[in-house]
Amino acid sequence: MTIEISKEYKASLVPFPKETLEALDLPKETFEFLTEVGLPPHAGYEITPNAPLTFFDMPNIKKHAHLQNTFLDIASMDMMGELTIDMKTQEVYQIQKGRADSWGNSVEIP
């Protein structure tokens, strides 16, 4: 199966300047994608009706307590959490941020 990206969407992608991401020590493929292809730097996308997707101006790295890994947050999905890339596997996940687990502990590692 081949997924084709529309010309309009391709035109909306803006690569990040290399110097802004070098300090994050990203995996090579992720770094190349973000600096050569980029992300759309605006809101207006919806996953489903009333589920907005807003890409961040700058991705940020966070650790997640339950998944025991480091993630690169790239977009907010409003009340549905954040879109994030696993720094180890480079898989994309939707993760609820800022919520407490059943024991009352924060799910984020500062």
pLDDT in tens, the chain (110 residues): 777 878 888 888 999 999 999 988 899 999 999 999 998 887 677 777 777 888 888 888 888 766 678 889 999 888 788 888 999 888 988 887 665 454 444 455 44
**Which residues, 6+ apart, have CB-to-CB distance to 30 below 8 Å?**
72, 85, 87, 90
**Do 44 and 66 form a contact (C-beta atoms < 8 A)?**
no
**Do 101 and 66 form a contact (C-beta atoms < 8 A)?**
yes
Which pLDDT score is estimated for 43? 66
Q: What angle do CA 32, 36, 41 make, to 5 degrees?
A: 110
Q: pTM, whole model, 2 decimals?
A: 0.74
What residue ranges do the domains of the chain occupy?
7-97
Which pLDDT score is estimated for 49? 78
